[in-house]
Structure 1
Amino acid sequence: MSWFVLCVKAQQEKKVADVLRKMNVEVYCPMIQETKVWSDRKKVVETPLFKSYVFVKLEEKYRGIVFGAPGVIRYLFYLGKPAVVRDEEIWNIKKWIADDGKDLDKLSQLIPGSEIVVQNGLLKDHKGVVYWINKNNVAFLLKEMGVVAQVKLRDVV
Protein backbone atom coordinates (compact mmCIF):
# COMPACT_ATOMS: atom_id res chain seq x y z
CA MET A 1 0.00 0.00 0.00
CA SER A 2 1.18 3.50 -0.82
CA TRP A 3 0.37 7.01 0.31
CA PHE A 4 -1.25 9.08 -2.44
CA VAL A 5 -2.04 12.80 -2.45
CA LEU A 6 -5.64 13.86 -3.04
CA CYS A 7 -6.56 17.32 -4.26
CA VAL A 8 -9.73 18.45 -2.49
CA LYS A 9 -11.96 21.53 -2.58
CA ALA A 10 -10.72 24.53 -0.64
CA GLN A 11 -11.48 24.41 3.09
CA GLN A 12 -12.91 20.88 2.77
CA GLU A 13 -9.82 18.95 3.91
CA LYS A 14 -11.14 17.98 7.33
CA LYS A 15 -14.60 17.01 6.03
CA VAL A 16 -13.13 14.89 3.23
CA ALA A 17 -10.81 13.14 5.70
CA ASP A 18 -13.74 12.35 8.03
CA VAL A 19 -15.84 10.90 5.19
CA LEU A 20 -12.93 8.79 3.92
CA ARG A 21 -12.30 7.44 7.44
CA LYS A 22 -15.95 6.36 7.59
CA MET A 23 -15.31 4.54 4.29
CA ASN A 24 -12.44 2.65 6.05
CA VAL A 25 -9.72 4.42 4.08
CA GLU A 26 -6.51 5.27 5.95
CA VAL A 27 -6.29 9.07 5.78
CA TYR A 28 -3.80 11.63 7.02
CA CYS A 29 -4.72 15.29 7.06
CA PRO A 30 -2.02 17.11 9.07
CA MET A 31 -3.54 19.93 11.13
CA ILE A 32 -1.76 22.77 12.92
CA GLN A 33 -2.90 25.29 15.52
CA GLU A 34 -2.96 28.92 14.36
CA THR A 35 -3.94 32.04 16.23
CA LYS A 36 -6.34 34.14 14.20
CA VAL A 37 -6.69 37.79 15.20
CA TRP A 38 -9.77 39.88 14.53
CA SER A 39 -10.39 43.44 15.60
CA ASP A 40 -12.34 42.32 18.67
CA ARG A 41 -10.80 38.96 19.62
CA LYS A 42 -8.13 36.29 19.19
CA LYS A 43 -8.92 32.65 18.58
CA VAL A 44 -6.82 29.52 18.19
CA VAL A 45 -8.09 27.50 15.23
CA GLU A 46 -7.02 24.22 13.70
CA THR A 47 -6.06 24.53 10.03
CA PRO A 48 -4.62 22.04 7.54
CA LEU A 49 -0.86 22.17 7.06
CA PHE A 50 -1.29 21.58 3.32
CA LYS A 51 -4.18 23.59 1.91
CA SER A 52 -6.41 21.58 -0.47
CA TYR A 53 -4.46 18.32 0.00
CA VAL A 54 -5.15 15.10 1.93
CA PHE A 55 -3.00 11.95 2.07
CA VAL A 56 -4.61 8.52 1.64
CA LYS A 57 -3.00 5.11 2.03
CA LEU A 58 -4.45 2.39 -0.13
CA GLU A 59 -3.66 -0.13 -2.81
CA GLU A 60 -3.35 1.02 -6.41
CA LYS A 61 -6.38 -0.98 -7.54
CA TYR A 62 -8.65 0.73 -4.96
CA ARG A 63 -7.70 4.32 -5.84
CA GLY A 64 -11.12 5.05 -7.36
CA ILE A 65 -12.99 4.54 -4.09
CA VAL A 66 -12.04 8.02 -2.84
CA PHE A 67 -14.21 9.72 -5.45
CA GLY A 68 -17.26 8.60 -3.44
CA ALA A 69 -16.42 11.31 -0.90
CA PRO A 70 -17.83 14.78 -1.64
CA GLY A 71 -15.11 17.39 -2.04
CA VAL A 72 -12.51 15.15 -3.71
CA ILE A 73 -11.34 16.68 -6.99
CA ARG A 74 -8.53 14.45 -8.26
CA TYR A 75 -5.22 12.82 -7.40
CA LEU A 76 -2.04 14.86 -7.55
CA PHE A 77 0.13 13.65 -10.44
CA TYR A 78 3.89 13.75 -10.91
CA LEU A 79 5.54 12.77 -14.22
CA GLY A 80 2.24 11.39 -15.53
CA LYS A 81 1.66 9.09 -12.56
CA PRO A 82 -0.19 9.61 -9.27
CA ALA A 83 2.21 11.19 -6.78
CA VAL A 84 3.35 8.68 -4.16
CA VAL A 85 4.56 9.81 -0.75
CA ARG A 86 6.95 7.54 1.16
CA ASP A 87 6.10 6.34 4.68
CA GLU A 88 9.19 8.13 5.99
CA GLU A 89 7.92 11.47 4.68
CA ILE A 90 4.54 11.00 6.39
CA TRP A 91 6.36 10.02 9.57
CA ASN A 92 8.53 13.16 9.35
CA ILE A 93 5.44 15.37 8.98
CA LYS A 94 3.87 13.70 12.03
CA LYS A 95 7.08 14.18 14.02
CA TRP A 96 7.36 17.83 13.00
CA ILE A 97 3.77 18.52 14.06
CA ALA A 98 4.32 16.74 17.38
CA ASP A 99 7.40 18.89 18.06
CA ASP A 100 5.64 22.12 17.00
CA GLY A 101 4.53 22.99 20.53
CA LYS A 102 8.14 22.99 21.70
CA ASP A 103 9.01 25.48 18.96
CA LEU A 104 6.37 27.93 20.19
CA ASP A 105 8.13 28.18 23.55
CA LYS A 106 11.39 29.04 21.81
CA LEU A 107 9.67 31.63 19.58
CA SER A 108 8.31 33.47 22.60
CA GLN A 109 11.91 33.94 23.81
CA LEU A 110 13.04 35.56 20.54
CA ILE A 111 13.36 39.29 21.07
CA PRO A 112 15.69 41.82 19.46
CA GLY A 113 19.08 41.50 21.10
CA SER A 114 18.79 37.79 21.97
CA GLU A 115 21.29 35.30 20.56
CA ILE A 116 20.21 32.59 18.10
CA VAL A 117 21.70 29.66 16.23
CA VAL A 118 20.30 28.82 12.78
CA GLN A 119 19.18 25.16 12.74
CA ASN A 120 18.47 24.66 9.00
CA GLY A 121 19.25 26.13 5.59
CA LEU A 122 22.34 27.74 4.10
CA LEU A 123 23.30 29.49 7.33
CA LYS A 124 23.03 26.34 9.46
CA ASP A 125 25.03 26.48 12.73
CA HIS A 126 25.78 30.21 12.37
CA LYS A 127 25.27 32.31 15.50
CA GLY A 128 23.89 35.79 15.55
CA VAL A 129 22.00 38.47 17.45
CA VAL A 130 18.34 39.07 16.59
CA TYR A 131 17.89 42.38 14.80
CA TRP A 132 14.14 42.23 14.10
CA ILE A 133 11.34 39.62 13.86
CA ASN A 134 8.13 39.52 11.86
CA LYS A 135 5.51 36.84 11.26
CA ASN A 136 7.67 34.67 8.97
CA ASN A 137 11.26 35.92 9.10
CA VAL A 138 14.07 36.80 11.47
CA ALA A 139 16.82 39.27 10.65
CA PHE A 140 19.97 38.83 12.69
CA LEU A 141 23.49 40.18 12.81
CA LEU A 142 26.14 37.60 11.91
CA LYS A 143 28.96 38.54 14.24
CA GLU A 144 31.71 36.75 12.34
CA MET A 145 30.80 38.42 9.02
CA GLY A 146 29.48 41.74 10.26
CA VAL A 147 26.35 41.56 8.10
CA VAL A 148 22.62 41.34 8.76
CA ALA A 149 21.05 38.17 7.35
CA GLN A 150 17.41 37.23 7.04
CA VAL A 151 16.12 33.66 7.43
CA LYS A 152 12.77 31.95 7.72
CA LEU A 153 11.53 31.79 11.29
CA ARG A 154 11.18 28.00 11.12
CA ASP A 155 14.92 27.70 10.34
CA VAL A 156 15.87 29.36 13.62
CA VAL A 157 13.93 27.27 16.15
Structure 2
Amino acid sequence: MAGDKLTRAWYALHTKSRFENVVNEGLERKTLDVFLPKITVKSRRRDRHKMIRVPLFPGYVFVRTDLNPYEHIEILKTTGAVRLIGSTRGPVPIADGTIASLKIMVSTDGEVITGTRFKKGDRVMVISGPFAGVTGIFSSYRGDGRVIVNIEALGQFAAVNVDAADVEKLPEILS
Protein backbone atom coordinates (compact mmCIF):
# COMPACT_ATOMS: atom_id res chain seq x y z
CA MET A 1 0.00 0.00 0.00
CA ALA A 2 3.03 2.27 -0.16
CA GLY A 3 2.06 5.47 -1.95
CA ASP A 4 -1.63 4.52 -2.06
CA LYS A 5 -4.09 7.00 -0.60
CA LEU A 6 -6.30 5.39 2.04
CA THR A 7 -9.95 5.44 0.96
CA ARG A 8 -12.94 4.77 3.16
CA ALA A 9 -14.91 1.63 2.34
CA TRP A 10 -17.31 -0.77 4.02
CA TYR A 11 -15.94 -4.02 5.46
CA ALA A 12 -17.62 -7.01 7.08
CA LEU A 13 -16.49 -7.55 10.67
CA HIS A 14 -16.90 -11.06 12.08
CA THR A 15 -18.06 -11.05 15.71
CA LYS A 16 -18.27 -13.59 18.48
CA SER A 17 -21.54 -15.51 18.51
CA ARG A 18 -24.42 -13.27 19.65
CA PHE A 19 -22.11 -10.26 20.14
CA GLU A 20 -23.40 -8.24 17.18
CA ASN A 21 -25.14 -5.62 19.37
CA VAL A 22 -22.16 -5.33 21.73
CA VAL A 23 -19.76 -4.78 18.81
CA ASN A 24 -22.17 -2.34 17.14
CA GLU A 25 -22.48 -0.25 20.32
CA GLY A 26 -18.72 -0.40 20.98
CA LEU A 27 -17.90 0.87 17.49
CA GLU A 28 -20.53 3.61 17.76
CA ARG A 29 -18.93 4.76 21.06
CA LYS A 30 -15.63 5.04 19.15
CA THR A 31 -17.50 7.27 16.65
CA LEU A 32 -16.96 4.84 13.79
CA ASP A 33 -19.47 4.44 10.95
CA VAL A 34 -21.11 1.08 11.65
CA PHE A 35 -24.16 -0.74 10.27
CA LEU A 36 -25.94 -3.72 11.83
CA PRO A 37 -28.82 -4.76 9.56
CA LYS A 38 -31.70 -6.23 11.57
CA ILE A 39 -34.98 -7.84 10.56
CA THR A 40 -38.14 -8.58 12.52
CA VAL A 41 -38.97 -12.25 13.02
CA LYS A 42 -41.37 -14.23 15.17
CA SER A 43 -39.77 -15.37 18.45
CA ARG A 44 -38.82 -19.07 18.50
CA ARG A 45 -39.70 -19.45 22.18
CA ARG A 46 -42.71 -21.64 22.81
CA ASP A 47 -44.08 -19.53 25.67
CA ARG A 48 -44.13 -16.28 23.66
CA HIS A 49 -45.55 -15.22 20.35
CA LYS A 50 -43.96 -11.84 19.83
CA MET A 51 -41.93 -10.24 17.09
CA ILE A 52 -38.25 -9.57 17.82
CA ARG A 53 -35.44 -7.80 15.94
CA VAL A 54 -32.49 -10.04 15.04
CA PRO A 55 -29.38 -9.50 12.91
CA LEU A 56 -29.90 -10.23 9.21
CA PHE A 57 -26.40 -11.76 9.13
CA PRO A 58 -25.73 -13.41 12.51
CA GLY A 59 -22.11 -12.97 13.56
CA TYR A 60 -21.39 -9.94 11.36
CA VAL A 61 -21.56 -6.14 11.42
CA PHE A 62 -20.40 -3.73 8.75
CA VAL A 63 -17.92 -0.97 9.48
CA ARG A 64 -16.76 1.89 7.24
CA THR A 65 -13.06 2.63 7.57
CA ASP A 66 -9.99 3.61 5.57
CA LEU A 67 -8.00 0.90 7.44
CA ASN A 68 -5.39 3.30 8.76
CA PRO A 69 -3.39 1.35 11.37
CA TYR A 70 -4.82 3.20 14.39
CA GLU A 71 -8.47 2.78 13.33
CA HIS A 72 -7.90 -0.86 12.27
CA ILE A 73 -6.54 -1.72 15.73
CA GLU A 74 -9.39 0.16 17.45
CA ILE A 75 -11.91 -1.88 15.46
CA LEU A 76 -10.26 -5.19 16.39
CA LYS A 77 -9.91 -4.18 20.07
CA THR A 78 -13.68 -3.74 20.34
CA THR A 79 -15.22 -6.26 22.74
CA GLY A 80 -16.63 -9.16 20.72
CA ALA A 81 -14.84 -8.32 17.44
CA VAL A 82 -13.00 -11.24 15.84
CA ARG A 83 -11.59 -10.15 12.45
CA LEU A 84 -12.31 -8.22 9.29
CA ILE A 85 -13.39 -10.59 6.52
CA GLY A 86 -10.99 -10.86 3.62
CA SER A 87 -8.34 -12.89 1.87
CA THR A 88 -4.65 -13.50 2.50
CA ARG A 89 -4.00 -10.01 1.10
CA GLY A 90 -6.15 -8.38 3.78
CA PRO A 91 -9.73 -7.24 4.36
CA VAL A 92 -11.92 -7.10 1.24
CA PRO A 93 -14.17 -4.03 0.84
CA ILE A 94 -17.91 -4.31 0.20
CA ALA A 95 -19.46 -2.12 -2.51
CA ASP A 96 -21.26 0.99 -1.25
CA GLY A 97 -24.24 -0.03 -3.42
CA THR A 98 -24.55 -3.32 -1.56
CA ILE A 99 -24.69 -1.56 1.81
CA ALA A 100 -27.17 1.00 0.44
CA SER A 101 -29.40 -1.85 -0.78
CA LEU A 102 -29.24 -3.57 2.61
CA LYS A 103 -30.18 -0.32 4.35
CA ILE A 104 -33.24 0.03 2.11
CA MET A 105 -34.25 -3.62 2.66
CA VAL A 106 -34.13 -3.43 6.47
CA SER A 107 -35.82 -0.01 6.64
CA THR A 108 -39.07 -1.33 5.16
CA ASP A 109 -41.75 -3.40 6.88
CA GLY A 110 -41.62 -6.02 4.13
CA GLU A 111 -40.53 -9.57 4.89
CA VAL A 112 -36.87 -10.24 4.15
CA ILE A 113 -36.12 -13.87 3.33
CA THR A 114 -32.57 -15.16 3.42
CA GLY A 115 -32.14 -18.15 1.17
CA THR A 116 -28.55 -19.21 1.63
CA ARG A 117 -29.08 -21.14 4.82
CA PHE A 118 -29.59 -24.53 3.14
CA LYS A 119 -28.70 -25.87 -0.29
CA LYS A 120 -30.34 -28.91 -1.85
CA GLY A 121 -28.44 -31.96 -0.63
CA ASP A 122 -27.21 -30.45 2.68
CA ARG A 123 -27.24 -32.86 5.62
CA VAL A 124 -29.54 -31.39 8.29
CA MET A 125 -30.96 -32.24 11.69
CA VAL A 126 -34.36 -31.30 13.08
CA ILE A 127 -33.57 -29.68 16.47
CA SER A 128 -37.07 -29.08 17.83
CA GLY A 129 -40.69 -29.92 17.20
CA PRO A 130 -42.30 -33.34 16.72
CA PHE A 131 -39.43 -34.58 14.51
CA ALA A 132 -36.61 -33.44 16.87
CA GLY A 133 -33.48 -35.58 16.49
CA VAL A 134 -34.26 -36.69 12.93
CA THR A 135 -31.37 -36.30 10.47
CA GLY A 136 -31.91 -36.12 6.75
CA ILE A 137 -31.14 -34.30 3.53
CA PHE A 138 -32.52 -30.82 2.80
CA SER A 139 -34.80 -30.97 -0.24
CA SER A 140 -36.50 -27.59 -0.73
CA TYR A 141 -38.13 -24.48 0.70
CA ARG A 142 -41.95 -24.58 0.75
CA GLY A 143 -42.71 -20.97 1.70
CA ASP A 144 -44.14 -19.59 4.95
CA GLY A 145 -40.95 -20.67 6.74
CA ARG A 146 -41.40 -24.37 5.91
CA VAL A 147 -38.83 -26.77 4.44
CA ILE A 148 -38.87 -30.33 3.13
CA VAL A 149 -36.35 -32.77 4.63
CA ASN A 150 -35.87 -36.23 3.10
CA ILE A 151 -35.15 -39.05 5.54
CA GLU A 152 -33.68 -42.35 4.38
CA ALA A 153 -34.79 -45.54 6.12
CA LEU A 154 -34.63 -49.12 4.90
CA GLY A 155 -33.32 -47.99 1.52
CA GLN A 156 -36.34 -45.73 0.92
CA PHE A 157 -36.96 -42.02 1.39
CA ALA A 158 -39.72 -40.35 3.38
CA ALA A 159 -40.16 -36.58 3.33
CA VAL A 160 -41.29 -34.37 6.21
CA ASN A 161 -42.48 -30.78 6.06
CA VAL A 162 -41.01 -28.88 9.04
CA ASP A 163 -40.53 -25.32 10.20
CA ALA A 164 -37.22 -23.93 8.85
CA ALA A 165 -36.41 -22.53 12.32
CA ASP A 166 -36.46 -26.10 13.66
CA VAL A 167 -33.72 -27.31 11.28
CA GLU A 168 -29.94 -26.85 11.45
CA LYS A 169 -27.27 -27.76 8.95
CA LEU A 170 -24.90 -30.48 10.14
CA PRO A 171 -21.17 -29.72 9.95
CA GLU A 172 -19.39 -31.34 7.01
CA ILE A 173 -17.40 -33.66 9.31
CA LEU A 174 -20.63 -35.19 10.65
CA SER A 175 -22.16 -35.65 7.20
TM over 0.5: yes
C-alpha distance after superposition, 1:39-63 (max 9, x if no partner):
3321211110011111100112122
C-alpha distance after superposition, 1:16-60 (max 9, x if no partner):
100110011110010111111433321211110011111100112
Q: Is 2:105 the partner of 1:96?
A: yes
Question: Please, what TM-score do these two structures have when normalized by structure 2?
Answer: 0.57
After superposition, residues 123-134 of structure 1 pair within 5 angstroms as: 133-134=143-144
Task: Please report the RMSD computed on the Cα atoms of aligned residues, expressed in angstroms.
Answer: 2.2
**CA–CA distance in 2 between the matches of 1:7 and 1:39?**
30
**CA–CA distance in 1 between the matches of 2:44 and 2:81?**
30
1:15 is displaced (CA, Å) by: 1.0
Match of 2:85 among 76, 89, 93: 76
Which structure's residues are more often helix, by fraction? 1
3-state SS of the aligned residue for 1:5? strand
Amino acid at match of 2:61: V
Return 5+ residue gaps in structure 1 as ranges: 105-131, 138-157
1:81 is displaced (CA, Å) by: 2.4
Task: Return structure 1 stretches of 4+ with deviation > 3 angstroms.
Answer: none
Return 5+ residue gaps in structure 2 as ranges: 1-7, 113-141, 148-175
Question: Please, what TM-score do these two structures have when normalized by structure 1?
Answer: 0.63
Aligned residue pairs total: 110
1:83 is displaced (CA, Å) by: 1.7
